Structure 1
């Protein structure tokens, strides 16, 4: 049975994007890149909201996997391309090979089915998609970068309170702090 892990990188004040929609405040060190590669190596499928898909797809399929890119980036790009990817969108009509479009209205039933069909980690990304699938998320992962940006797009949209239990935390030499939570 699959496990849904909602993983997003944030500022320490909980934002995944700054107020202009940028993510330039995230400066991953080699230690973070290695941890990301270790996780993605074991990922069975990616579940993306449309905007996160658009931010990830071109860089990791076209640019960062090329010769001349740092070895850890090429490795991540290879894992990314080899992993089945599902994009949840009502506006996209076509996607490249390796991707499957799922209509947003079908998100709950599709992820419920994927959890039953796929053994391993289903890595969920995108705060609006995560909010719509909250009851199906098994773990919440936060990599907090050492910067305060004061506003922008939050890790999860404002909504109901959700109590969690911290089961793992780790500090990186680059100043990034990882926290992994599960439901109590």
Structure 2
């Protein structure tokens, strides 16, 4: 069974985006950016909800070709293009960049099927898609990077749940600028 990780940046007050889908508060330090890049390198398959897919696919496919792209951005862009992706959406009509589209059915059922396949670890991104996986008890690890900012509203990181999810802390790490990584494994 493949391991499923939910990795996300969030504000101290628990939001992944401020009102208006503003994520400008989550600009990573070079060290944190490298940490995210290394995660992409070791991921076997990334699962995206539509909104996060639109954000990522509008920035990373050609980021390495922009004037002034840093070596880290060039590296991340290549890694991002290379990792296979599944996009879950009932409204998107096409995807590209090494991705396939899932438009119908229950997301949790499809995620469970993907977990049962052979292959490397899975990452899930996007609040709505991750919420479906959380509610179904499919997430094995949470890798949360909390940024030292209060945004006062927006898109919450965690949904209302029907039951508690008990976790074991496996790692903490502070990055320049005060962002704090906390990694937890789900207690089954």
Shared fold by TM > 0.5? yes
- The aligned counterpart of 2:179 is 176
What is the correspondence of 1:44-83 to structure 2 with a 5 Å cutoff? 44-62=44-62, 64-66=63-65, 68-83=68-83
- The aligned counterpart of 2:105 is 105
Tell me if the contact between 1:164 and 1:182 (Cα under 8 Å) persists in the aligned partners. Answer: yes
Tell me if the contact between 1:128 and 1:156 (Cα under 8 Å) persists in the aligned partners. Answer: no
Question: 4+ residue stretches of structure 1 with deviation over 4 A?
Answer: none
> Secondary structure at 1:178's aligned position in 2?
strand
Structure 2 unmatched ranges of 5 or more = none
- The aligned counterpart of 1:114 is 114
Q: 1:149 aligns with which of 135, 151, 155?
A: 151
TM-score (norm 2): 0.91
Change (3 A) 1:55 1:118: farther
Q: Report the alpha carbon displacement of residue 97 of structure 1 after superposing the two structures with TM.
A: 4.6
Change (3 A) 1:182 1:151: same
State the number of aligned residues: 183
Take 2:93 and 2:11, find their aligned partners in 1: how far apart are those partners? 33
Take 1:93 and 1:21, find their aligned partners in 2: how far apart are those partners? 22
TM-score (norm 1): 0.93
- The aligned counterpart of 2:130 is 130
Q: Deviations over 1:108-158 (max 9, x none)?
A: 232222112232221100111111111111111101111111211111123
The alignment yields a C-alpha RMSD, in angstroms, of: 1.4
Structure 1 unmatched ranges of 5 or more = none
> Secondary structure at 1:25's aligned position in 2?
helix
